[in-house]
Structure 1
Amino acid sequence: MAKFSFADADADEDPPPAAAGSDKRKRDGGDGNAMGISMRIDPDLLDCSICFEPLCPPLYQCQNGHVACLSCWSMLSNKCHVCSHDAIFARNIALEKIVESIKSSCAYAKWGCCELVSYTQRNTHEESCFFAPLMCPIPGCGYRGFTGRWSGHFLVDHHSADFLHFVYGQSFEVNLEASLPFLVLLGEDDHLFLLLNKNMTPFGHAFSVVCLRTGDLNWKFSYEIEAASTRNPENCMQLKASVTNAKEWEGLHPTESFLLVPYDFCSSTNITLSVSVGRSASV
């Protein structure tokens, strides 16, 4: 059974007597705008009882009032899945209006998403929500986590040898196997970065940095990469660029900024780089 709780601002006070000629059918907040009503309802009642997806207009019911979504009704051959009676189905306009009016918080509200989403579009929103969890980039892991919670996963759970911890604004040395496609870098605030390595035969290795993050956009990140020749350390190359943001890495490398390090700068198996990542507040 659905349970409703109405929460008006002056719920503890006796309502004033209605003025003569007032329209009792329409609620407003005194400024001519419709007044919202806070409710609680079992979410299962808003889902189709056949496919369990959110009910989405148009909605049809049998003669006994049992409702399902249109795509499910089309497979029932005019026989209700609840009462099993043959029936001629009719639109339930009232329920359509209720479903269309319901808005709910995103499932990732506690991670920063402030959107109130139409219930019928909630699944679609959450699939693309910027605050949704990220997939761990280590192949075969499958863990999904949120920005700010990566230390526990990498330090404790699985990948203590698969990443480097760094402090913003301080250079650190990276000795990377030439065959590795990326190295995980974990910032002091738990932001997750990838130092990407793309073999650009016959030229050399292209290096860039991306930040895998959802939610917090209060920070802008930049990076510097410097590579020195193993044969002549006086010969060096340097790149300063903005970090690219990504929700997940699917093997695509940034094309706007990267440092192309010739093979002559590298040993046969390893590449040594000096890297630093900077952080500044977004304006």
Structure 2
Amino acid sequence: MAKFSFDDAEEDPPAAASGGDKRKREDGPPGGAPPKARNLAVGGGEPDGSATVGEERAEGSGRKVVETGGGEADEGISVRIDPDVLDCSICFEPLRPPLYQCQNGHVACFSCWSRLSNKCHICSHDANFARNIALEKIVESVKSSCSYANWGCSKLVSYSLRDAHEESCLFAPSVCPIPGCGYRGFTGWWSGHFFIDHNAEGLRFMYGQHFEVNLEMSVPFLVLLAEDDHLFLVLNKNVMPFGHAFSVVCLRTGNLNWNFLYEIKAISSANTENSLQLKASVTNTREWGGLHPTEAFLLVPYVFCKSSKLTLNLSIERFADVGGGYVTSSVL
């Protein structure tokens, strides 16, 4: 069994400011973040024990660990290669079979070859493209650890599917929405971060209970901190010439077995008999960069607000995902 390790793991998670850690996370390497060099180490079990030492170094430093099948541990060899050879030389995405090469051996992914008009992008020769079966087998055998291994993810995934996994990895940190902050954290750490760095920001609430929020019409979002430390944003988008579109998103990756619904209600300040209401699912996002949900939002006309503020009545309900159904947190 050969083992590969990438030296490009994500930096260490920040120390928790307060509150309990909701998920198991590995501590980062002592003395700072792991090196960023993109080298690929392959360890085989040498009789002198060098492979064992290499394996401990990879696991202890939080490097990406990649396993490929084949061979007994004591029959391996140790080499170092550049993992960039596993990426397409045209689009720079991970290579995925089927893989084709020109007569000089230059390889690219199938989607890129199909756009080259039978000329190699490197040597420019007329290309009689042929399958590179050997490289396909190598690419298919490589299993890479997640970039968020230092943050607690222990999964090994196919190198070609690593990007797709990391897009939905439950251990991918979310980015604080406050402009200029740059803090990255998880559910369980937001309260401490906001208490220390953004004490005037954020409104706490309890699931299933209605509460009012007074929102400045010029403010793009309002931060809400739930009782379990999930971080929500009430988004405010000015939709000229109609009014303001309000929606709710949650900063997290994956569902973590929880789903959320929200109800939002706006009452006209000019005529309290006029009201608008929406019930919808909360959208998840790892980082809010100004994008607003398009599937569901509450559009409130300008005439509902006489001054620069608008009062909204809001509630958020938490549901456990149980076998494809939903159970409200109040009965758990």
Please state whether the residue corresponding to 1:155 is helix, strand or coil: helix
Q: In structure 2, how many angstroms separate the alpha carbons of the residues matched to 1:200 and 1:102?
A: 48
Contact in 2 for aligned 1:229/1:236 (Cα 8 Å): yes
The 1-side partners of 2:298 and 2:220 are apart by 15
Q: 1:200 — aligned with what?
A: 239
Corresponding residue for residue 274 of structure 1: 313
Is 1:146–2:174 an aligned residue pair? no
Q: Deviations over 1:106-137 (max 9, x none)?
A: 24358675631245765x45753433112211
Partner of residue 23, structure 2: none
Change (3 A) 1:37 1:97: farther
CA RMSD of aligned residues (A): 3.8
Displacement of 1:201: 2.0
Tell me the residue number matched to 1:181: 220
Structure 1, unaligned runs of 5 or more: 7-33, 59-69, 71-93
Counterpart for residue 302 of structure 2 = 263
Structure 2 residue 249 is matched with structure 1 residue 210:
yes
Q: Secondary structure at the match of 1:128?
A: helix
CA distance in 1, matches of 2:301, 2:87: 59
Superposed displacement of residue 215, structure 1: 3.7
1:134–1:213 contact (8 Å) kept in structure 2: yes
Q: Which residue of 1 aligns with 2:86?
A: 56
- Is 1:134 the equivalent of 2:174? yes
Structure 1 SS opposite 2:316: strand
Quick check: 1:172–1:276 contact (8 Å CA) kept in 2? yes
Measure the CA separation in 2 of the matches of 1:57 and 1:204.
Answer: 47
Report the structure number with the largest CA radius of gyration. 1
Cα separation, 1, equivalents of 2:175 and 2:232: 13
Residues 112 and 216 in structure 1, CA contact (< 8 A), matched pair in contact too: no
Alignment of 1:152-167 (within 5 A): 152-156=192-196, 158-167=197-206
Letter in 2 for 1:134: S
Residues 111 and 215, structure 1, Cα contact 8 Å, conserved in 2: no
Q: Residues 116-173 of structure 1, C-alpha deviation per residue, up to 9 Å, x if partnerless?
A: 1245765x457534331122111111112223321221122x1121211111111111
- What SS is found at the alignment partner of 1:207? strand
Report the AA paired with residue 249 of structure 1.
W
Q: How many residues align?
A: 218
Counterpart code for 1:211: C
Distance 1:213 1:47, change over 3 A: farther
State the one-letter code of the partner of 1:164: L
Tell me the distance in 2 between the aligned counterparts of 1:180 and 1:36. 61
Among 205, 210, 226, which residue is 1:171 paired with? 210
Q: Is the 8 A contact 2:278 2:297 kept in 1?
A: yes
- Which range moved further: 166-175 or 212-221? 212-221
Q: Which has the higher contact order (CA 8 A, sep 6+)?
A: 2
Q: CA 1:229/1:114 → structure 2, altered by over 3 Å: closer, same or farther?
A: same
Partner of 1:25: none
TM-score by length of 2: 0.55
Structure-to-structure mapping, 1:107-126, within 5 angstroms: 107-108=147-148, 113=153, 115-118=155-158, 122=162, 124=163
The CA deviation at 1:281 is 0.8
Q: Helix, strand or coil for the counterpart of 1:139?
A: coil
Structure 1 Cα separation of the partners of residues 211 and 152 of structure 2: 32
CA–CA separation in structure 2 for the residues paired with 1:146 and 1:263: 36
Matched, 1:250 2:280: no
The 8 Å contact of residues 227 and 238 in structure 1, kept in 2 or not, is answered as yes
Q: Is the 8 A contact 2:146 2:166 kept in 1?
A: no
- After TM superposition, give the deviation of residue 233 of structure 1 in Å: 2.2
Aligned to 1:151, the other structure's residue is in SS state helix
Deviation, structure 1 residue 253: 1.5
Cα 1:217–1:271 change in 2 (3 A) is same
Q: TM-score, normalised by structure 1?
A: 0.63
- Per-residue deviation, 1:248: 2.1
Do the aligned residues in 2 keep the contact of 1:56 with 1:96 (CA within 8 Å)?
no
Contact kept in structure 2, 1:165 and 1:186, CA below 8 Å: yes
Looking at structure 1, the residues matched to 243 and 156 of structure 2 have their Cα atoms a distance apart, in angstroms, of: 49
